[in-house]
Amino acid sequence: MHIAIYILILTILLVLFYSKQLIAFIKHRRNLLKHMSKIPGPHAIPLLGTTYQMKWRTRDLLLQMRGWGVEFQNKGYELVVLWLGPHPSVVVISPDIARAILESNDIITKGPEYDILMPWLGTGLLISTGEKWRSRRKMITPTFHFNILNGFQAVFDHQARIMMEQLETYDGKREHFDIFPYIKRCALDIICETAMGITVSAQTDHNNPYVQAVQSLNILAFNYQRRPWLWLKPIWYATGNGYEYDASIKTVSDFTIKVINERIRDFEQLGGWPEDNTKQRPFLDMLIEIRKEKGLTYEDIREENVCPIHHTSHDTTAAGMGWTTWCLAHNMKCQRKLQEELDEVFGNSDREITVDDLKKLKYLERCIKEALRLRPSVPHFARKVEKDVEINGYTLPKGCSIIISPMLMHFNSRFHENPENYDPDRFLEDNLAGKHPYSYIPFSAGPRNCIGQKFAIQEEKTILATLFRKYTVTTHIPYTDNLPLPEIINRPSNGFPVLIKKRNI
């Protein structure tokens, strides 16, 4: 009898407990649906949302997404909602809305689209939020001071020269070759040396397992983000994606652990880093030096140096350089103008490129910026709405994600005349006057803008200047045949197949 009473009481308590949860869930969904119904978007159905319409091939998906963006932009809308299964993602297609969101100090939490990156990148500056993000941003910002970046110029120049040696075999050949792997390996060698102080010789060791692991993680993460059924772990592993992802994570983690342990051991054995005014210390060494003062753990160092910097610098700068090369290969008038600028600065010499030289290469910088407009290295930024917020007359409810797409923003004909054309002179000061500042956001903007954008531009200018000083780059592959695949970065669908020929200066 007593047991029956206890069971009855327990049952009532469980019902009451879960009833409160159920009621809270229903209220949350009603609020979500109420506000989402006021935002236009492609037709969605229960459970599957918009995904039933989405194209399977990444190439086709890109064209579909751009088509939806243009369609709703032309109708004068500022937001579009896409339902990924039961989860709504609000896509921003207006610079005014983008500005309000990116400048907000409340909407700073990265969206659930980044969850798949947690085992890889941890919760450092790239993904963290709240007070942790604020303190890390304040701590890391000084390491990107221009004086420190200038100290890495010799590394940029040295690795660029190695890349030119690697390209020698293709000089004057009639068959196209993909220059992208060479650019990526050069960028990897640069970030390993500047971030960690080590040489992995990726440019001369073309089967570097770390590069292959990062490439695998990028592809798997993108597939995970756009296919809700993969969010279920049994399916994630049954398809083999989970096992491949775990194996790639292990490759990256083993590499990371080895590097950090070696540098900490060196620091402790030396009793601190020796003074050497001829060489800039890598970012990892700076973090190790301040770890006790700032209370940094081993995991903090991993989060703030090796993983995020590898990911954000190696992949994004390589994409930026690759797309600039591709654009210039299809715009010979622009390439000749760039080479005239290079000849004015360097003549027919083969001397090293200095920081002062880079300041003079203004047309090259415009070429890079215009390529980033057409093909931004990061295709979109996502934020999580943690409480209902009012933005320009819209209510964005708790539980939805916000996606800001530079590609959609950069192709808006209201802000960029003939947006499909490659025209570096868009970035002449006179032509920028009156432009909406958020109509061009390749490095994001606001409090969470890219902390390494100066590093990226300096590296890209050095490598591209070295390339076009030595070679003329052409291609017979149509520009539009090579679509950007919006994975973690905008990866080219066909690589960057080009022809190179030494210049007679």
* Three-class secondary structure of residue 473 per DSSP: strand
What single-letter amino acid sits at 84?
Answer: L
- Report the alpha-carbon distance of residue 108 to residue 199 in Å, rounded: 35
* Cα radius of gyration rounded to whole Å, the chain: 25
DSSP-assigned letters across all residues of 370-387: HHHHHS-SS--EEEE--S
Residues that constitute the known binding site: 450
Strand partners, 81: 90
What is the tally of helices (H) and strands (E) in the chain?
21, 11
Neighbour order of strands in the sheet with 177-178: 177-178, 497-502, 471-474
Tell me the backbone φ, ψ of residue 68, rounded to 5 degrees. Answer: -60, -45
Known binding-site residues for heme equal 450
Residue 309 in contact with residue 283, Cβ under 8 Å?
A: yes
- Cα separation values, 95 from 366, 405, 486, Å: 21, 10, 20
Residues 365, 459: Cα–Cα separation, whole Å: 11
For residues 224-240, one letter each, b for 16 or more C-beta atoms within 10 angstroms of the residue's C-beta and e for the rest, the string is: bbbbbebbeeeebeeee
> CA-CA distance, 466 to 161, in Å (whole number)?
7
Q: Alpha helices, DSSP H only, in 271-396?
A: 283-294, 298-301, 307-309, 316-329, 332-346, 355-360, 362-374
Write out the DSSP string of 402-431: EEE-HHHHHT-TTTSSSTTS--GGGGSHHH
Residue with tokens 């030396």: 270
Closest CA to 341 of 465, 462, 431: 465
Q: What's the token pair of residue 294?
A: 């700032």
Q: Give the tokens for residue 379.
A: 């295709």
How far is it, in rounded angstroms, from Cα 219 to Cα 226?
A: 11
Instruction: Quickly tell me which residue has 């797409």 as its tokens.
Output: 405
CA–CA separation, 420 and 405 (whole Å): 16
Are 164 and 179 in contact, with CB atoms under 8 Å apart?
A: no
